[in-house]
Structure 1
Amino acid sequence: MINNIKGTSYLFICIGLLIQTLQAQNDLRDIPKPDLKKEQASFSIAEGFEISLYTASPMIEKPTQINFDNEGRLWVCGSHLYPQLNVNEEPSDRIVILEDTDKDGVADKSIIFYDKLIMPNGILPDNEGGAYVASSDKLIHLSDTNGDGKADKSEVLLTGFGTEDTHHTLHRLGWGPGGKIYMQQGFYVSSHVETAYGPRHLKGSGLWTYDPETRRLEIFTKGYINPWGHAFNYWGQTFEADGAGTGFGHSFPNSVVVTSPGESQSVPSLTPNSPKACGIEIISGKHFPSSWTGNVITNDFRAHITDRYSIEANGSSYKAKLEPTFLKSKHISFRPVDVTMGPDGALYLADWYSPIIQHGEVDFRDQRRDHVNGRVWRITAKGRPLLQKPDYNKLSIPELLDLLKAEENWVRLLAKQTLKTKEVKQVTNALDKWVLNLDSQEPKYDHHRLEALWTVQTLNLMDIDLLKSVLKSKNASARSAAVRVLYYWNEKVPDALVLLKTAVQDLDTSVRREAIIALSKFRTVEAFKTALLAHNRNMDQYYSFALRETSRILSKYWLPSFLKGDFDTKTGEGALIFALKSTEDQKVIQPLIDFYRNSKSPDASILSLIGKIGNPKQLNFLTEIASVKYHPHQSDAAISLLIAAKNRGVFPIRNKAEALQNLFAYGDEDVQVTACALAGYWKNAEFIDFLKQKLSKPTTSYAVQESAAQALTMFKTGDIRDFFVKIIGEDRTIGTTKLAVVALVHVDLDEGVKAIVHLLGKELDEETIDYLIKTIIKKEGALTALSSALEGKTISAETATLASRFVQASGREGVGELMAALAEAGSIESTSVVSNYGLSIQDILRKLKDGDARKGKEVYLRPQIACVACHKVKGVGSSDVGPDLGSIGASAPADYIIESLIEPSKKIKEGFKSTAITTKNGDFYTGAIVYEDTNIIKIKTSSGTEVSLQKKLIESREASKVSMMPAGLTNSLNEGDFIDLLKYLTVLGKNH
């Protein structure tokens, strides 16, 4: 169907499907009707720019990605079915093609190209009348074989992409400068894709590359929570936006950003404390001011903002600076999710349009979800001429080649894509002449040759002479980009290692980093030796990551040679030690020990690796060091021994007693803490009396006392139990007493529970109550035992309230029974839900207009309601147990925030669902998993502490249905404070 809509009639929006939604709002009057004029009036834009409407419903609906083709048409994929396909509902999401036929900046023609999809999240025109689409678990190609403007053929190219989470399925398709398709997936899916080149597996988030000619699929990068947008700069470097956490960052082949499962190293984001970023574009072309060229544009969709960042080279990567706000809207439904530059030089924004953006936290059938609307906005620079789109399909091959000199990134890209449709021999002959006729004195000479090289790559050909020429460019960025091409061509280039040997010794660090990564493609010992030439003492984080990753990838080739003794390198001992540590292979431990012994300035990080992967015999080396008086690495050795014991349950064979004696005799407080823990894990009975002395001696620091008490519990003897009972019965400080009580629970549950009840009857501070309850939460059977022990007992109302709060967050069976017992003992009402002061949600919403956000912030900061103990606001704060609240007001409706306080477990934030783990000895832990490998799981508990658990000691693990945020946190507030707190939360994120 083709629609022609012009003038004021274009502003008419069909809102029939929203009538029921609006009627269901009751008093939620802040959700406006979908009025285009009012939304446009809500914008504030940087001086010198203006924003206008390009298209809206009914031409499009809920756009998720937009991309222009070489005819100047805008392809839009969208989903009215989001967030789920309902029962008996047919797939009907669609791909729409838009055109502005009279060049007035408004789309006046639309074609529904295909309408049988389920939540498509990626669209990329093939510039031959068809398109590639990311559709659920598939990458498909749609084509129009009869020329009627509609797809009549759908071909599945690949299948097996993860579908566990709608937000994280395959999405964001785009062309790279060398002709490959790049596409992303999020953290909460696992993909297992069968290809002609073997299976490809990606657990968690990452960026894929796909060659449409060879159908080769590869992983380009890993990481981010939900990468949602990628772009290439003038020199072909990659930037990715993270729609769920860390802004945007610079990526390169093999790079890993935080959150990639099982990865032990990563590179940072360029904007680690920035908001979520959705969609990303890099400014180029003559229409925008030249000072904006190279700037990054991305969307803070939660705060209704489009941001601009300037970037500049920094070592082997970049640094980014947030510039004054580019675009901001006061309209709560403005949700910019994609951004791209158009053929006229303007910037186009896809506006998903919805007051609600939550996926897992807000009900799928929430009546306020907008399933109809969507817009594309157009931003232009005032007083600057728009650009004329080249008629790519009518240009000759030489004319298309001349477009490779264009200032606009998209013009050069589409010129290469159009050249791909021509007869290959004609293109290569013309390209040779074009390169030959380039003026070597022209400032952009190096970039022109690079574009020629990318053209060859787009054609799936090779030109070794051209590659070598660009590798010798005066411009370092051109050399770096040429090395990236060599990464893809790798062993097909006859003397590739010779070329890379020069590149890894380049004066520019970005060239060296690219060369290091390129060498990972060469499965030889020589490739590794070449990479090692790049090692130096001044490696930045990105550079050292690249060298570690290449050393690890190539270890299957060079490590056997090294272990046989027939390996020589001219790079020096430091480089080889760096590479050996990078492998994290148990076989390298003994050689590293030898290096340590023979070095005049031994590397202490070797000791850390021994603790992480060494066997019992190799751990003897650590006890040997720990046994030496005043050894400079005594503390490093002790910590490594503790890592081995705690994370892996692996212990040394010799020198344990000698090591402990030395650590206790000569160590500072931190070493003493470690020594106590080691004595417990090693079960050195000869140190029991020493540990008792550490706990009972008043002058001992609390940290050492705590470690000693925990160590004593590992012996589990009657003598130990009696000792704890004795300590509890004496007139000790509350710190010593609570340590003994907690320890007793582990040794004798019944006696320990009695001691806890006795202690709860005293006047206790919040920290002590928290500490006691953590023990109860961990121990199997303790909740029921404590419930019984509280019968007939009396505790203060404050103690009962605080204890109930901590108990409620545990998610264990028996919580309800214990909370009832605490309420009875403290003569309080149940604190399982927050007090709503007798007000309905609608009543609270009406009162919000009179709330004071400034006072609400003061309430938020009160220690007793524990908000700051778990949450950051816009990256500021000491804990990230819970989600950053910096934009909750912009992303969540007010009633959702209210319900989150009243019933925290009803809607748990994506990425903060907790896991409940029970160990074989009956201990119980609940928290968010922050790291997992073959040996350990690390979880962050509701108290903010990280706990490492050996996998072999885990009895069961399951998703917890209870939020880590306890109910009843705001019970201590009066109604006014409660309203002010809600007001503060509801405005967070509405101001940048």
Structure 2
Amino acid sequence: TKDDVVVFLGGTDMVRAQRSGHLEALLTSEFRNDVPRFRDLSWEADTVFALGTEIDRWRSGGFRGIKGLGNLETQLVNLKATVVIVQLGKNEAFAGVEGVGKFVEASDKLFGRLRGEDRQLIVLSPTPFENAVDSLYPDLRKRNVDLKRYVNALRVTANDHQALFVDLFNDAEETFTSNGLHVAPDQHASFALKIAAALGIEREDGFDALGDLLFSVREKHRLWFDYWRPANWKCLFGDDNRRVFSIGNQKNIPSIRDERDQIPGLIDAAELNVAAVAKGLAKPRIAKQIPLPPPTPAVSEEEELKEFRPADGFKVNLFVSEKLGVENPLTMRWDAEGRMYVACTWTYPHLKPGEIPNDKIILLTDTDGDGQADLSTVFADGLNIPTGLEIANGGVYVGQSTDLLFLRDKDGDGVADERKVVLSGFGTGDTHQAMNSFTWSPGGELFFCQGDGIESRVETPWGVSSLYQAGVYRLRPGRLELHGLLDDFMGPGNPWGVVFDDWGQSLVVDGAGGVSYLTPASIPAKHRLRLGRIGNPGGYCGVEMLNGRNMPESMRGQFVINDFKSNTVKRFELQPDGSGFKLDWCEPVLKSSHRKFRPVDIRMGPDGAIYVADFYNNIICHQDDYFRDPTRDLHHGRIWRVTYKKNPLAPKPAFAKASTGQLLDMLKAPERWTRQQAKFELSKRRVSLVSDMADRWVRRMNTNEPNYSRNLFEALALCATAEVPSQQLIKRALASDDHRVRAYAARIAGRWHDRLANTYELLELAANDSHPQVRLEAILSCGQISHTSAVQLAAQSVTRHSRDKWIDYAFTQAVRHQERFWMDGLTEGTLDFADDTDSMLAVFERGGSSKMLSRLMALAKSEKIKPDGLPGIYKGIASLGGPAELRQIFEPDFHLSTTSQEAAW
């Protein structure tokens, strides 16, 4: 009808459908004389149980007197919504048939809220699960049996609420997805046409005549998204809403709140343009690039260089500056050719009203090998505060805004011509805490961080992965598995760096809270248990391990860490401490007396030198400096190169031209960068043969070689990078004389648990190892596999061997995270502690003794309990309970059967 306001709700498919604009353009064109308006409230990982527009912190209620947007009903009323189009059910179907009942109840409640008094409701079913193009992704088609039940439930519930139901599941002929789950980018037009056809809208010419309208719709949606789902929500409506960044207190310097208030006017103007374009009365309005403020005063590169004080034996030179386009550098990495990629931002800390983000990745080449860049190319632009950057698989991974992107240069001209969204739904509640500090593990996992102002909810083919507040993400790109570690601020509050030692043990550093040993937190548990730190606080941003032939031998294996507050690159080393480490500080590698030197990233380059990204700014606090402080520097940036004068630099490897044998020998290189690139290159070559190739390479070695353990580790890490399990290498590594290799083997055995023949036996060996770090890794693996008895194995490890705080941390999280498996095992009788009372008590205590006792008492009286499960239940009650519980289970009236009574006795 005239002047309808149509609201969209749904998960990732709806988010991307709105971003593509195809469905909205079709509806706008069809009803152009009625001038409808469209509002998007969709959010990645939305379900009938929880909607991002409602549950994201502070959105509904605000904080400290600053009102939020209100609940769903309030938002719909304020938008004057008359029509709601909703698509949900696919994420919920991962719960299987057991979840249908709760789904029906929740969808009934949600549809009632959406209908309100007189709104029209249109319910879109999910599309079917499909087989992914990548064989390492799960085949989701087997879930369609369950999904059909959810679709049928949606149909019935929609009918109950007099809603129009659009069936996109049954008789689906087209292939819409590439990952088996989400509508592929090149299918959004077809997807929109299919929905429109179900609504009675047919367009034989598709989008041939709608190019201008599609452009205008996308522009309007961009403005709406920046208003309704803005970055820095924490500063707008959250617990930072009264700090200088949010309120401002100087004339002519707007606050973030002032600027947000300007966006509705821009949306109104964009909608007028959409309406005019739909009627053929106007052309699309193209947003103008907002000019940067004039440069602030800065010292020259030569003057800044004079103020450095490097450690004895080191020298510093400028690698690149703003003269080659490097301004406000955030992070840097190198491709296999040795070219540097630098992510630069002019958008930070926030988009201006109406601004189209245009942050860039600059590609730099040192053509003559003199340690200075002399060729600069814009590899990618149009980015929005790209705080994460890593390179592998023939392209560049970029973290920006809500998206993890993959950029590829297909024609070799140094410019990205392919851009795809790998995953989306990452939080932007605070732009200086968004996903950052990308780094590869030795086994090809991508680790990155987020701070306490961020909430991420990401749909993957394995289900929804969420990370609430501060934590660390672990992505296995080959399988698209995403795990949130340290969920809900269990560790650092604003982490900006993950680093691995040469044996895969990991640390995470905090912008305010110090250094933490990350490995014990490798289980993606939701049980909130604080992780202690091993290093004192500082302004840390970026961390790296010193390695390679150029570094002094005494420093190899030590770590360098940026402290942007003190204008220093600090240094520390680790000392073994039980299953973990303790930290000792050493003399800094680099100091500066220049206050604008702000080291924010640090990496070992291909040549073995240390590279330091200098953000070059006098503004260092996100919340306590003015939002648009005129002294914020947007025109300068430097990258410094630090070398040790007495040692040679590393030669430049030729990965692409190297033979397989040469690449394998590169795994022996002293430079970690070379080893990592060799693993990536080998992973691209006949992947199916990687396992045999690595095993043969190791078997040809003399086990008495000085670096045999190192090479065995790299061979196993190669197979992990390629996602090709090797039973033989795991066994060989578990038999190593070096506990560090055995520990890594225990980790990889857990990672490959669903693809190895005898994971339990392998972990049993590691769980009883003589070294505590190996046992720690075994417990961590037990906490991440679905084997019913894995928790028993972990418990035996802690009850039969010495333990420390790191082992206790890992064991607690293993018990909590795997509770759904071992409780089912108790109920069904497949988990039998027999006479191992110590292990049983250890599990129940870490599971929460009082809570466990209540659950066991309830289970004993449940009809669901199988006879084989009764003995274990009563053993638990006898171990945890007191006189009252013991009296109760021996009373005849307590039992539902004589079998139960006999089991109690």
TM-score, normalised relative to structure 1: 0.55
| Aligned CA distance change for structure 1 residues 197 and 454 (closer, same or farther; 3 Å) | same
Q: Could you tell me whether the CA contact under 8 Å between 1:342 and 1:348 is conserved in 2?
A: yes
Aligned to 2:654: 391
Per-residue deviation, 1:97: 1.1
Structure 2 residue 499 is the aligned partner of structure 1 residue 231: yes
| Aligned CA distance change for structure 1 residues 571 and 184 (closer, same or farther; 3 Å) | farther
Which of 562, 583, 593 is 2:847 aligned to?
A: 583
| Aligned CA distance change for structure 1 residues 306 and 620 (closer, same or farther; 3 Å) | farther
Aligned to 2:544: 281
Structure 2 residue 468 is the aligned partner of structure 1 residue 203: yes
- Aligned runs of 1:468-867 on 2, under 5 Å? 468-536=731-799, 538-559=802-823, 561-562=825-826, 568-569=832-833, 572-584=836-848, 587-589=851-853
CA distance in 2, matches of 1:565, 1:43: 67
Per-residue deviation, 1:564: 8.2
1:502-534 alpha-carbon deviations (Å, 9 max, x no partner): 111100000001001101233233212111111
Which of 101, 107, 110 is 2:376 aligned to?
A: 110
CA distance in 2, matches of 1:297, 1:188: 27
Aligned to 1:76: 342
CA distance in 1, matches of 2:383, 2:295: 26
Aligned to 2:397: 132
Which of 119, 123, 132 is 2:385 aligned to?
A: 119
CA distance in 1, matches of 2:520, 2:852: 28
CA distance in 2, matches of 1:20, 1:488: 50
Structure 2 residue 628 is the aligned partner of structure 1 residue 370: no
CA distance in 2, matches of 1:42, 1:489: 50
Aligned to 1:447: 710
Per-residue deviation, 1:363: 1.0
- Aligned runs of 1:904-915 on 2, under 5 Å? none
| Aligned CA distance change for structure 1 residues 50 and 20 (closer, same or farther; 3 Å) | closer
Structure 2 residue 543 is the aligned partner of structure 1 residue 269: no
Q: Could you tell me whether the CA contact under 8 Å between 2:687 and 2:724 is conserved in 1?
A: no
Q: Could you tell me whether the CA contact under 8 Å between 1:96 and 1:110 is conserved in 2?
A: yes
CA distance in 1, matches of 2:391, 2:784: 31
Which of 514, 517, 530 is 1:249 aligned to?
A: 517
| Aligned CA distance change for structure 1 residues 246 and 375 (closer, same or farther; 3 Å) | same
What is the one-letter code of the residue matched to 1:226? Answer: N
Aligned to 2:4: none
CA distance in 2, matches of 1:568, 1:57: 66
Per-residue deviation, 1:88: 3.0
CA distance in 1, matches of 2:883, 2:392: 62
| Aligned CA distance change for structure 1 residues 575 and 266 (closer, same or farther; 3 Å) | farther
CA distance in 2, matches of 1:106, 1:566: 64
**SS of structure 1 residue aligned to 2:798:** coil
Aligned to 2:601: 338
CA distance in 2, matches of 1:48, 1:505: 46
Q: Could you tell me whether the CA contact under 8 Å between 2:523 and 2:814 is conserved in 1?
A: no
What is the one-letter code of the residue matched to 2:334? Answer: F
Per-residue deviation, 1:42: 1.0
Q: Could you tell me whether the CA contact under 8 Å between 1:121 and 1:135 is conserved in 2?
A: yes
Q: Could you tell me whether the CA contact under 8 Å between 2:450 and 2:495 is conserved in 1?
A: yes
Aligned to 2:615: 352
What is the one-letter code of the residue matched to 1:65? Answer: T
Per-residue deviation, 1:428: 4.9
Aligned to 2:583: 320
Q: Could you tell me whether the CA contact under 8 Å between 2:783 and 2:790 is conserved in 1?
A: yes
Q: Could you tell me whether the CA contact under 8 Å between 2:687 and 2:722 is conserved in 1?
A: yes
How many residue pairs end up in the alignment?
A: 571
Per-residue deviation, 1:408: 1.4
Q: Could you tell me whether the CA contact under 8 Å between 1:240 and 1:251 is conserved in 2?
A: no
Per-residue deviation, 1:170: 1.4
Q: Could you tell me whether the CA contact under 8 Å between 2:472 and 2:486 is conserved in 1?
A: yes
| Aligned CA distance change for structure 1 residues 252 and 113 (closer, same or farther; 3 Å) | farther
**SS of structure 2 residue aligned to 1:67:** strand
Q: Could you tell me whether the CA contact under 8 Å between 1:255 and 1:266 is conserved in 2?
A: no
| Aligned CA distance change for structure 1 residues 144 and 444 (closer, same or farther; 3 Å) | same
Per-residue deviation, 1:157: 0.8
1:770-797 alpha-carbon deviations (Å, 9 max, x no partner): xxxxxxxxxxxxxxxxxxxxxxxxxxxx
CA distance in 1, matches of 2:292, 2:456: 36
Structure 2 residue 434 is the aligned partner of structure 1 residue 169: yes
Structure 2 residue 290 is the aligned partner of structure 1 residue 61: no
Per-residue deviation, 1:427: 4.7
Q: Could you tell me whether the CA contact under 8 Å between 1:278 and 1:338 is conserved in 2?
A: yes
CA distance in 2, matches of 1:240, 1:156: 26
Q: Could you tell me whether the CA contact under 8 Å between 1:250 and 1:318 is conserved in 2?
A: no
Q: Could you tell me whether the CA contact under 8 Å between 1:354 and 1:369 is conserved in 2?
A: yes
Q: Could you tell me whether the CA contact under 8 Å between 1:267 and 1:541 is conserved in 2?
A: no
1:874-913 alpha-carbon deviations (Å, 9 max, x no partner): xxxxxxxxxxxxxxxxxxxxxxxxxxxxxxxxxxxxxxxx
CA distance in 1, matches of 2:532, 2:568: 24
| Aligned CA distance change for structure 1 residues 294 and 39 (closer, same or farther; 3 Å) | same
CA distance in 2, matches of 1:96, 1:176: 25
What is the one-letter code of the residue matched to 2:499? Answer: A
Two-structure CA RMSD over aligned residues (Å): 2.7
CA distance in 2, matches of 1:384, 1:574: 56
**SS of structure 2 residue aligned to 1:37:** helix
CA distance in 1, matches of 2:689, 2:745: 24
CA distance in 1, matches of 2:358, 2:747: 41
Aligned to 2:573: 310
| Aligned CA distance change for structure 1 residues 64 and 248 (closer, same or farther; 3 Å) | farther
Per-residue deviation, 1:18: 7.0
CA distance in 1, matches of 2:333, 2:792: 43
Structure 2: give runs of 5+ residues left out of the alignment. Answer: 1-290, 859-876, 886-905
What is the one-letter code of the residue matched to 2:816? Answer: R
What is the one-letter code of the residue matched to 1:488? Answer: R
Per-residue deviation, 1:380: 0.5
CA distance in 2, matches of 1:42, 1:434: 49
CA distance in 2, matches of 1:20, 1:126: 36
| Aligned CA distance change for structure 1 residues 79 and 472 (closer, same or farther; 3 Å) | same
1:929-981 alpha-carbon deviations (Å, 9 max, x no partner): xxxxxxxxxxxxxxxxxxxxxxxxxxxxxxxxxxxxxxxxxxxxxxxxxxxxx
| Aligned CA distance change for structure 1 residues 504 and 369 (closer, same or farther; 3 Å) | same
Structure 2 residue 690 is the aligned partner of structure 1 residue 422: no
1:425-445 alpha-carbon deviations (Å, 9 max, x no partner): 565554343222111110221
**SS of structure 1 residue aligned to 2:562:** strand
Q: Could you tell me whether the CA contact under 8 Å between 2:667 and 2:674 is conserved in 1?
A: yes
| Aligned CA distance change for structure 1 residues 122 and 232 (closer, same or farther; 3 Å) | same
CA distance in 2, matches of 1:324, 1:374: 26
Which of 456, 466, 472 is 1:191 aligned to?
A: 456
| Aligned CA distance change for structure 1 residues 83 and 589 (closer, same or farther; 3 Å) | same
Q: Could you tell me whether the CA contact under 8 Å between 1:397 and 1:427 is conserved in 2?
A: no
Per-residue deviation, 1:249: 3.3
| Aligned CA distance change for structure 1 residues 365 and 442 (closer, same or farther; 3 Å) | same
